[in-house]
A and B are shown apart, each in its own frame.
Chain A
């Protein structure tokens, strides 16, 4: 009797450990993602997951996954061979992606509109070096981490 109680208790502990306190992995998706060693900087909104995934020769590329279909979505014109993305953010509709990237000798913030396949550079005013970007999920506001004069600041940009 005592032994079965103990084994029942052990099972409960095991089960609670497996559930991770209410955290449940998404096995199919996570197996796909695990193949992309070196990926980082996720941005999750609606049924969209944007992140930086390894490409070649130590370079990264922006990747967007439609979680409803568990499939990557093409981003024509966004990933350039001469650019290294540092940060990405996606809005709730998966329509706009904000990216900080290094290209040649500069670091720039750009806005990519998926339906138009267009990129728009958003200049830092006053001049500064962006490092990371965050979207409000409604797609209206960007918060950008910018270095100016050795100090990290946050710029807020309301999109038209």
Chain B
């Protein structure tokens, strides 16, 4: 068998699966979330890279969705079918927690959905600060927010250890995933 044949086979397999290998990187387009081509924005990966949160248009409203990265399977979110537009999703290590900014009446509100318990935690910021974007620490014990004050933005960090259990990598204390995580 010619020596180039295995390479050709791998290349064919990758092109069929929508992947490419360039410069040592393995590339893949995110699995579609619906029919046809649509905008997908603000990607956020879980700490272990297993889950992908992103924003799509649903009935003209910017809505967060959660998928398994490899299969594209959509995962249910209990509290996040309303209060659009959604903005700035962020996931913890195993994807137990999904933090994002939602619309609450006239104001923006940072919230965290706990996929293991089904609870929604609103985060009330001090001093009338309004969230513009956020990043949840992978263990869920801190959150960094871009907040607006007097027309300018700044980054502020808050401790969440009094509110959330840690969501650490397997093998570390207090790890735990969402409802579909293996036991």
Which residues on A are within 8 Å of B, measured CB to CB?
A: 17-26, 29-30, 33-34, 36-46, 49, 51, 67, 92, 122-123, 125, 132, 134-138, 140-141, 143-145, 151-160
- Residue of A at shortest CB range from B142? A44
Which residues on B are within 8 Å of A, measured CB to CB?
A: 20, 22-30, 37-49, 52, 54, 69, 93, 121-126, 132-138, 142-146, 152-164, 169
* C-alpha spacing A156/B72, complex, angstroms: 12
Main secondary structure of the interface of B (DSSP, over half): strand
* C-alpha spacing A38/B162, complex, angstroms: 29
Determine how close the nearest CB of chain B comes to the CB of A129; give it in whole angstroms. 13
Q: Assuming the A-B contacts A40-B132, A134-B45, A143-B43, are A24 and B162 also in contact, with contact meaning beta carbons closer than 8 angstroms in the complex?
A: yes
Q: Assuming the A-B contacts A23-B163, A43-B135, A135-B45, are A154 and B40 also in contact, with contact meaning beta carbons closer than 8 angstroms in the complex?
A: yes
B27 touches A42 (CB 8 A): no
6 contacts between A and B (CB under 8 A): A33-B157, A46-B137, A125-B27, A136-B46, A137-B93, A151-B38
A42 touches B124 (CB 8 A): no
Known contacts A42-B133, A92-B138, A154-B41; 18 additional CB pairs below 8 A are A20-B158, A22-B121, A22-B162, A33-B156, A34-B154, A41-B146, A42-B144, A44-B143, A134-B43, A134-B44, A136-B49, A137-B48, A153-B29, A153-B40, A154-B30, A155-B30, A159-B25, A160-B25
* C-alpha spacing A19/B133, complex, angstroms: 21
B163 touches A21 (CB 8 A): yes
A38 touches B154 (CB 8 A): yes
Determine how close the nearest CB of chain A comes to the CB of B1; give it in whole angstroms. 27
- Residue of A at shortest CB range from B161? A24
A21 touches B123 (CB 8 A): yes
Determine how close the nearest CB of chain A comes to the CB of B30; give it in whole angstroms. 4
**Which residue of B25, B37, B133, B154 contacts A151 across the interface (Cβ within 8 Å)?**
B37
